Amino acid sequence: MLLRACSDLVCASSACPDDIDAANGWLPTDIHVRVYDSTRRFSVAVGHRLTPDSEPVLTKPTAFASRTGALTKQFTEDQGYWLPTAYDNHGPHQEYWACREHVAVMDLSALRKFEVLGPDAEALLQAALTRDIRRLSRGQVVYSAMCNEAGGIVDDCTVLRLGDNNFRFIGGDPYDGVWLRTQAERLGLNQVWIKDSTDQLHNIAVQGPASRDLLAGLIWTPPAQPALRELGWFRFLIGRLGGP
């Protein structure tokens, strides 16, 4: 509080007139300035916490950063990963039309992948999602929504059935795994394991009318799997880049 005389009155003010007066509780210290060469680069990150008690996780590059970083310096933070927003010498309009008329490749590594495994895996997803997961066959993928008890959407997602008790859940938020574990505990489903596989499954999307033709020349599939050109809607296959 500052007191000062104003003619025959005393005015009281809580405003701080300066930031160096010891009377204001300030203890100024020396300011150290470092100058770096203009070519020096420093890592940048944002800290995320899934829950108030979680350790912060810093933003990290995806597995494709060495390739995308050579094509653009325009990156944005997306759910804990640095993703390119546009590429040099092109731009969003050209990329939009490439996706509509030809083919475009996008880094979608920020999508969260969870392996849902065990005898109670189907029961958990059946309770947590709006789709009838019991009808999902092997090799099939379904789009769904994950809702809370009031019917509000926690996240939208896709679910792949890899086996009888083996599912892959793909959503947009890292909290999805926390929510699934919470529901498993609430429902008493003790024989289900929810494993975060995001860091092991960085992925790109190949989209556009020419995407199938592009991938058909790159992906080999074993005889027991359908050929990529024969892959139906909402189906998936396991293949290999190059030959057998």
**136-158 residue pLDDT tens:** 999 899 999 999 888 899 999 99
**160-188 residue pLDDT tens:** 999 999 999 999 999 999 999 999 999 99
The rounded distance, in Å, linking the Cα atoms of 115 and 203 is 15
Tell me, what's the pLDDT at 124? Answer: 97
**79-134 residue pLDDT tens:** 899 999 888 887 788 889 999 999 999 999 999 999 999 999 999 999 999 999 99
Beta pairing, strands 60-61 & 81-84: parallel
More confidently predicted of 5 and 195: 195
Tell me, what's the pLDDT at 17? Answer: 54
Tell me, what's the pLDDT at 38? Answer: 83
Element (H, E) at 153: strand 153-163
Q: What sections of 39-174 are H helices per DSSP?
A: 65-68, 92-101, 121-128
Tell me, what's the pLDDT at 8? Answer: 46
**14-23 residue pLDDT tens:** 445 555 666 6
**Token output for 13:** 């003010």
Tell me, what's the pLDDT at 133? Answer: 96
More confidently predicted of 66 and 13: 66
Looking up tokens 């009281």, which residue turns up?
A: 12
What 3-state DSSP class applies to 23? helix
Does the pLDDT value for residue 74 go beyond 80?
yes
Looking up tokens 């989209």, which residue turns up?
A: 207
Instruction: Compute the average pLDDT of residues 193-200.
Output: 95
Q: Which of 5-14, 75-84, 152-161, 214-223 has the lowest mean pLDDT?
A: 5-14
Tell me, what's the pLDDT at 46? Answer: 87
Query: Which residues 6+ apart lie within 8 Å of 211 measured at CB?
Result: 103
Confidence of residue 24 (pLDDT cuts 50, 70, 90): low
More confidently predicted of 118 and 30: 118
Name the pTM for this structure: 0.79
What 3-state DSSP class applies to 105? strand
